[in-house]
Structure 1
Amino acid sequence: MANNQQPIYIMPEGTERFLGRDALRMNIIAGKALAEIIRTTLGPKGMDKMLVDGFGDVVVTNDGATILKEMDIVHPTARMLVEIAKKQEDNVGDGTTTTVVLAGELLKKAEELLEMGIHQSSIVLGYRLALAKSIDILEDISIKASDKETLLKVAITAMTGKGSDNAKDSLAELIVDAVLNVEDDGSVDKDSINIQRISGGSVEDSYRVDGILIDKGKSDENMPAEVKDAKIALLKYPLEIKDLETDAKIDLTNPLQMQAFLDNEDEMIREMVDKIISSGANVLFCQKGIDDAAMHYLTKAGILAIKRTKKSDMKRLVKATGAEIVTNIDALSSEELGEAGIVYEKKIFDQKMVFVEELKNSKANSIVLRGSTKHVTGEIERALEDALGVVAATIEDDKVVIGGGAPEIEISKRLKEYGETIPGREQLAINSFANALEIVPRTLAENAGLDSINSIVDLIVAHEKSVNYGLDVFSGEIVDMKEKGVVEPQRVKKRAIQYATEATETILRIDDLVAARGSLESQGSDDDGMDNSGMPGTYNGMGQGGMPPMM
């Protein structure tokens, strides 16, 4: 009997599906492509990337987290690597480029094993064994230290090559002092440290303030420029009459009705201001707008008011002053007010700012960052944020490792010895993992214009003597990096290896890729991420039609 059954579709028409090695190969290519894009930014001599968004705004940086955030990544596998970079940034504050570059190299080594006929399961198991051993080795070579001298070295190492070289010593001092000031029993609240950029001037003019800076001036010129023994109200409610609906209509037949309408609005504004005055507040931070009439009455009452305060600044003020954010002005009372010894307005270059200082129950700090242009201050701010993260991690963990590629070489060396004790195909995966770790010192050498092969060989030989030998990219020599003062938090290396391995395992375990038609297409870009005009395009690591480029 003839089989006349119609085919059964379980997915929408036009759905693309790639199975087995095709799916795996596509994902590996995408991961390697992303790693290659940011690899040239790694290290003190890494190059910068210029990123231009759709509005023409330009960002010039070699900060991996910023580059990945600004790029329009569409391939799902590449986006997974962006996620682990964000995880690294949130957890440590530095090492995002290392994480992605290492993940790309682990995928490259896995691809070589796949071509040898090794199954993904064996590779994943070998990588897991290598990861566990790597963490043990990292613990063994770590140094316990969180004194101020070490913290300064950690901060300087994090900022080197990130646009702040001319003033990295003084900036490191600012960061370390700020972190030590907010440190509480080995824990650091990084949100209590605020960095405010002000273009105009020199980086050396930057300084630290014990308090909070708000990058806005007072709402009215006639308001007091300084208030001592400040009672601070934080208002989310706008001090203005809500706009009428667009289709509302009011019929006013004579001037008296118009005046009555205006008087009623004025009375409503007056009542709102009276509630602020009766609460005892003499400083007001409003997250919304403030009506001109309200500013007039606040000025008459001697209240310093700042309108359209950023949400992030409102949160800092809550923590620093003890005030509560009031969402309904009727609920405002003296119990919701915060306190500060002094609140004042100060003009720095051409920007007015409000300072909140002498905080009784807070260690909040702010750093006024100066620079010639917004691009300069933007890049230095990113360097300071990296330094802030690594200094905090060093205090919390009390462990550092030597920089200059020293940890990766030592872990690689010991992993190869460990691999000899593991039978089966997992041994090959462990050795591949060990070789992948060498991508960090190799990239440092390449970005410094050095011979990467000679540098790796010299490092391996030097590690027969001491684990402290690393690559000095400025001299091109293999030196004792501990004596050079190049140190990094253990957490940076630990998390980078962990996150890169986890992402690689996830990618290797995928053997089926199902996507709606068009979701994997190249959107008109060539295999090198360039469109036909020669400008950077949206890169997904794929060839035309969502298929990987033929090798």
Structure 2
Amino acid sequence: MMQQPIIVMNTNTEREQGRKAQNANIQAAKVVADIIRTCLGPRSMLKMLLDPMGGIVLTNDGNAILREVEVAHPAAKSMIELARTQDEEVGDGTTSVIILAGEVLNTAMPFLERNFHPITIIAAFKRALEDGLAILKSVAKPVQTEDRAQMLALIKSTIGTKMTKTWSDLMCGLAYDAVKTVATEVNGRREVDIKRYVRVEKIPGGEIEESCVLDGIMVNKDITHPKMRRRIENPRVVLLDCPLEYKKGESQTNVEVTDEAHWARLLEIEEEQVKELCDQIIRVKPDIVFTEKGVSDLAQHYLLKQNITAIRRVRKTDNNRIARATGATIVNRVEDLKESDVGEGCGLFEVRKIGDEYFVYLVQCKDPKACTVILRGPSKDILQEIDRNLQDAMAVARNVLFEPFLCPGGGASEMALAYQLAQKANAISGAEQWPYRSVAEAMEVIPRTLVQNCGGNPIKVLTALRAKHAAGHTSWGVDGENGKAIDMATYGIWEPLAVKAQTLKTAIESACLLLRVDDIVSGVRRQDQLQQSSMQGGQQVPEDVQG
């Protein structure tokens, strides 16, 4: 009788397999973190990005860099996704979150080598995250969102690390004014939608100092007829989402004309229909008509006779902003147009020429809940970078309006976390104490990187900072310009609590997620083999499993 082969499961082999995958993930995370490590702080270096079309972008914005980086490793892709999550959630801290996540994963490596179970490490990390969020709240201070000087000082800390720090006062003012303009109260809740209601219009040429926030809207359009009015004070505005053209039949419609009179009658019907559309508009006595669709020559003629200016093919997003700024309602059918749909909140309508293009200005609005930020500058590349920095600054201002608490910047919050988490680790018993303590060590990566990026001595500065935090001075951090320890309360570098908390949460949660992975299985190669075998007309034979 043949004996059945005995298959023995080797747990050591499985553990080796799991550790291999975790080591590969940690290495991939470190590589991504190292790419943008030099982009942290005011003395950060720039990266030159080459896109597939041959264009070049110069930036030190972590999110913009990682968007362009092409990686194959799934863990690296997961890390790049972190920057996008951070940008969508709070709009700032994209570089910090990647560096911190990479360092937290790096500190987990020794424990995996000593055969700590990943679940034990993850439990310690989660505990450190809860305590860390409580520590951040304890070092935060409230801020008056109505105090312009205080808010500008806060936004300055965001722009201080970017390319636009040369014009930081101007940029901070633009960001604050834009966010204050679009802030509204809806059902007792504050709403600040900068993506929908703040439009940044980049116009190459002119001085950067000419950039401004309009008390209204600007659209890159011109009037449809040269004889229409180009300047109107206190205009009545009508917004349409329908064409002012003859409505043609469906594609299946066939008209057979046998008599010349019938042809003349067809043309008359077209004219009558367009005239009826225009009469419905003229009935409410507007000064300007904006439509998202087309305006026929005949409609222009009828509107011009009534001294009405028409602007066609306006973007839907621009139409929504004009509606918010002027108080008009967008109408889908001219038959439904009522007096209450007409907007009278605008003080001046004007068409201006900048360079070779015409722009429609609707300014001096009484209570604009939408606005346009005009950016001027020497070239498109510089304007793109200013726009990226401005978006970060506006996101920070918005976060503070929602959660008016500030944490000390310049790595001070991270040093407070590092010191206080290390103290709390002493009270933890069991194996969790060591991974918990490693999170405290990982927090020091932010101040250390700030010192390294400006050519300072990290060991000397971090020792001085530890001494200050041990004495209870939680606001001491790193001066990013010269790499020395300094009190952030007097230096005036503050960051929103929302950004700091989100950075901590995203970094530690993602590290926990990657530590849970114990194998990487690819379904791509198998699919390719099947396709090749089917093309050759062969049949794949599964390999024998040997006992």
Q: TM-score, length-normalised on structure 2? A: 0.83
Pairwise CA distance, 1:473: 2.2
Equivalent residue for 2:410, pick from 399, 404, 409: 404
Contact kept? 2:183, 2:192, Cα under 8 Å: yes
Partner of 2:380: 374
Partner of 1:387: 393
Alpha-carbon displacement from aligned partner over 1:331-353 (angstroms, at most 9, x marks no partner): 33334333323332223444432
5+ unaligned residues in a row in structure 2: which ranges? 5-15, 529-547
Pairwise CA distance, 1:411: 0.8
Letter in 1 for 2:164: S
Contact kept? 1:233, 1:283, Cα under 8 Å: yes
Alignment RMSD: 3.2
Equivalent residue for 1:436, pick from 425, 439, 442: 442
Task: Provide closer, same or farther for how the CA distance between residues 179 and 250 of structure 1 changes in structure 2, counting only shifts above 3 A.
Answer: same
Task: Provide closer, same or farther for how the CA distance between residues 298 and 39 of structure 1 changes in structure 2, counting only shifts above 3 A.
Answer: farther
Equivalent residue for 1:319, pick from 321, 324, 328: 324
Distance 2:412 2:161 in 1: 18
Distance 1:299 1:232 in 2: 15
Partner of 1:60: 58
Distance 2:442 2:267 in 1: 74
Partner of 1:532: none
Partner of 1:485: 492
What's the secondary structure of 1:213's corresponding residue? strand
Partner of 1:451: 457
* 55-64 vs 254-263, which moves further: 254-263
Pairwise CA distance, 1:314: 2.2
Partner of 1:230: 235
Distance 1:516 1:226 in 2: 64
How many pairs does the alignment contain? Answer: 508
Pairwise CA distance, 1:285: 2.3
Equivalent residue for 1:219, pick from 218, 224, 230: 224
Partner of 2:10: none
* 18-27 vs 146-155, which moves further: 18-27
What's the secondary structure of 1:463's corresponding residue? helix
Give the alignment of 1:19-38 within 5 angstroms. Answer: 20-38=18-36
Contact kept? 1:65, 1:97, Cα under 8 Å: yes
Partner of 1:150: 150
Matched, 1:291 2:296: yes
* 448-457 vs 416-425, which moves further: 448-457
Contact kept? 1:193, 1:365, Cα under 8 Å: yes
Contact kept? 1:406, 1:471, Cα under 8 Å: yes
Letter in 1 for 2:203: I
Pairwise CA distance, 1:493: 0.8
Pairwise CA distance, 1:263: 5.2
Partner of 1:460: 466
Partner of 1:196: 201
Letter in 2 for 1:417: Q
Pairwise CA distance, 1:3: 12
Partner of 1:14: none
Distance 2:102 2:200 in 1: 33
What's the secondary structure of 1:59's corresponding residue? strand
Distance 1:254 1:71 in 2: 68
Letter in 2 for 1:66: A
What's the secondary structure of 2:223's corresponding residue? coil
Distance 2:125 2:177 in 1: 40
Pairwise CA distance, 1:200: 0.9
Distance 1:173 1:494 in 2: 25
What's the secondary structure of 1:470's corresponding residue? strand
Task: Provide closer, same or farther for how the CA distance between residues 410 and 319 of structure 1 changes in structure 2, counting only shifts above 3 A.
Answer: same
Pairwise CA distance, 1:330: 4.0
* 511-520 vs 90-99, which moves further: 511-520
Matched, 1:424 2:467: no
Pairwise CA distance, 1:120: 0.8
Partner of 1:132: 130
Distance 2:232 2:514 in 1: 58
% identical equivalent positions: 34
* 30-39 vs 238-247, which moves further: 238-247
Contact kept? 2:288, 2:310, Cα under 8 Å: yes
What's the secondary structure of 1:366's corresponding residue? strand
Contact kept? 1:183, 1:189, Cα under 8 Å: yes
Letter in 2 for 1:389: A
Contact kept? 1:163, 1:376, Cα under 8 Å: no
Letter in 1 for 2:168: K
Letter in 2 for 1:399: F
Partner of 2:102: 104
Matched, 1:353 2:356: no
Task: Provide closer, same or farther for how the CA distance between residues 295 and 20 of structure 1 changes in structure 2, counting only shifts above 3 A.
Answer: farther
Task: Provide closer, same or farther for how the CA distance between residues 518 and 36 of structure 1 changes in structure 2, counting only shifts above 3 A.
Answer: farther
Matched, 1:500 2:498: no
Pairwise CA distance, 1:438: 1.5
* 503-512 vs 447-456, which moves further: 447-456
Task: Provide closer, same or farther for how the CA distance between residues 2 and 318 of structure 1 changes in structure 2, counting only shifts above 3 A.
Answer: farther
Distance 1:379 1:313 in 2: 23
Partner of 1:524: none
* 298-307 vs 240-249, which moves further: 240-249
Distance 1:519 1:359 in 2: 63
Alpha-carbon displacement from aligned partner over 1:267-319 (angstroms, at most 9, x marks no partner): 44444333332344332222233334433433333223332322322222333
What's the secondary structure of 2:361's corresponding residue? strand
Distance 1:60 1:259 in 2: 62
Matched, 1:331 2:329: no
What's the secondary structure of 1:338's corresponding residue? coil
Contact kept? 2:215, 2:363, Cα under 8 Å: yes
Distance 2:246 2:108 in 1: 64
Contact kept? 1:402, 1:488, Cα under 8 Å: yes
Pairwise CA distance, 1:257: 7.0
User: Larger % of helix: which?
Assistant: 2
Give the alignment of 1:172-211 within 5 angstroms. Answer: 172-183=172-183, 187=190, 189-191=192-194, 192-211=197-216
What's the secondary structure of 1:55's corresponding residue? coil
Contact kept? 1:234, 1:284, Cα under 8 Å: yes
Partner of 1:526: none
Equivalent residue for 2:40, pick from 35, 42, 47: 42
Distance 2:463 2:358 in 1: 56
Contact kept? 1:75, 1:520, Cα under 8 Å: no
Contact kept? 2:325, 2:371, Cα under 8 Å: no
Pairwise CA distance, 1:433: 0.9
Distance 2:425 2:44 in 1: 33
Letter in 1 for 2:95: T
Pairwise CA distance, 1:422: 0.8
Letter in 2 for 1:172: C
* 73-82 vs 199-208, which moves further: 73-82
Give the alignment of 1:159-170 within 5 angstroms. Answer: 159-170=159-170
Matched, 1:469 2:467: no
